[in-house]
Amino acid sequence: MRIARNVSISSAILEVLPPLRHAGDRLMKRTDWLCCRAPLRVTDQPIGNREMRNRRRPWHDADRKTAEDFRSQCRSVLSRRSFLTLVGATIGTAARRATAVEGTEDRLVRSIPSGRFRLCYAPHLGLFPRLGGSDEADQVAFLADQGFGAVEDVGWRARPLAKRRRIVSAMNRYGMTLANFVAWADYQQPSFARPLAQMRERLQREIIRALEVAREAGVRSITVLLGRRDRRIAMSHQVRCAIDNVRFCVELCERAGVTLLIEPTGWPDQWSTGRMLIASVEDADRICRAVASPYCKLVFDVYRERRAGRDPLTELRLRWTRIGAIQMADFPNRTEPGTGVIDFERVFAFLIQQEFSGFIGMDHGRSRPGVAGEWAVLAAYRRLDRTYAT
């Protein structure tokens, strides 16, 4: 509560200080020309500063009188009484805003239950920059205090080794785990759509490297994005190639005890149509069923299903046995649940009823800016996690 109050007051003061700065900037711009040898020529066309300096005309008595009048106006604007009045009004506005924000956040914080979450939600690092801080280890500590048991970081593999070890040390200290990270994502050219004979060496090198990174952090699942399709080759042939490549990767993961997750990368828009190899959860499900391994699952994105015009809960029930991870976001703004049109009450009730043990990635932004938006995200998940248990 103390952190929220300090942040709210600082944020409110910072919000009202810019008008003072901008007023001073405008005043300086209005008085700059008085320091010149001659005033600027008045034109109806907008011109740049360099051109304005070149457009001079001789100094006349009328111009000097105008300058004297303008100087008197500037002195009145910069008088002590006017300055103190402006500063007093600014401080008063800051205090009122801080009180209002503090009261709103206090009510919001009091409405958030405490304790461990029922489901394994995995917020990504950076979702709570003001409450958790800019340091990743501090963010892990904040998430642990709020009752989360996992952290998501899709770019985990690209982080420097020293930073990965520091974050892992913080997660071990607070009893948290790292959710799945992206092990393969190639959008530049077809990859999984090519025959296994062409991709075997590259797949083996990249997947083994990803498994080594996963072992360092104790990660039990990695995600692959199968990339683009080749329009010159029949789609049925590319799907068969994708199945062979995925089966080869699953065999490598199975030896390490890691699950391979297939994430659909297509969108129901003009750009994605006909370009991505796996454009929907139905395509990913087809490959999982063909591979037929318990170490091959799919990533179910609630937001993508609703954007594609499908009912997320219906698709969730239909492919339940092959879902390894879930990504949460509301439609249409991809913000926290409860800010859009998706019926998350039914979705959360189903997940809690089925006792889903996989990771639920909080793959979204915030509907409101600032600290209040971060508290709103926490309140949304607390409400859904506690209310709709059966």
* Domain range summary for the chain, segments of one domain joined by +: 2-109, 117-387
Structure tokens at 387: 């209310």
The closest of 306, 316, 300, 206 to 262, measured between CA atoms, is 300
**C-alpha–C-alpha distance, residues 254 and 215, integer Å:** 13
**pLDDT value for 388:** 53
Biggest CA-to-CA distance, the chain:
92
The closest of 362, 305, 376 to 130, measured between CA atoms, is 376
> pLDDT digits over 196-237, tens only?
999 999 999 999 999 999 999 999 999 999 989 998 999 999
3-class SS of residue 27 = helix
Higher-confidence residue of 334 and 186: namely: 334
Amino acid (one-letter) located at 198: Q
**C-alpha–C-alpha distance, residues 179 and 361, integer Å:** 8
Task: State pTM to two decimals.
Answer: 0.72
* Average confidence (pLDDT) over 7-32: 43
Structure tokens at 346: 């039914």
> pLDDT digits over 322-350, tens only?
999 999 999 999 999 999 999 999 999 99
Handedness of CA 204, 207, 210, 216 (dihedral sign): negative
3-class SS of residue 285 = helix
> pLDDT digits over 96-107, tens only?
554 444 444 444
> pLDDT digits over 308-327, tens only?
899 999 999 999 999 999 99
The closest of 251, 337, 229 to 295, measured between CA atoms, is 251
* Average confidence (pLDDT) over 120-139: 95
8-state DSSP, 156: G
**C-alpha–C-alpha distance, residues 17 and 93, integer Å:** 10
Report whether pLDDT(108) > 80. Answer: no
The fold of 117-387 is TIM Barrel (3.20.20)
**pLDDT value for 67:** 53
| Secondary structure element (H or E) that encloses residue 184, with its range | strand 181-185
> pLDDT digits over 39-89, tens only?
434 344 444 444 444 444 444 445 555 556 655 554 544 455 554 555 455
8-state DSSP, 41: P
Helices (H) and strands (E) in the chain, counts: 14, 9
**pLDDT value for 115:** 80
Handedness of CA 104, 107, 109, 111 (dihedral sign): negative
Higher-confidence residue of 127 and 94: namely: 127
**pLDDT value for 140:** 97
Q: Per-residue DSSP letters for 201-220? A: HHHHHHHHHHHHHHHHHT--
Strand partners, 328: 362
Answer yes or no: are the C-beta atoms of 380 and 336 closer than 8 Å.
Answer: yes
Answer yes or no: are the C-beta atoms of 220 and 257 closer than 8 Å.
Answer: yes
Structure tokens at 242: 């994708």
> pLDDT digits over 369-390, tens only?
999 999 999 999 999 988 654 4
| Secondary structure element (H or E) that encloses residue 305, with its range | helix 302-307
SS3 content of the chain, % helix, strand, coil (to 5): 55, 10, 35
Answer yes or no: are the C-beta atoms of 312 and 305 closer than 8 Å.
Answer: yes
Lowest-confidence segment of 229-243, 265-279, 292-306 by average pLDDT: 265-279
- HSE on the CB side for 60, CA within 13 Å? 6
Report whether pLDDT(282) > 50. Answer: yes
Lowest-confidence segment of 16-20, 189-193, 325-329 by average pLDDT: 16-20
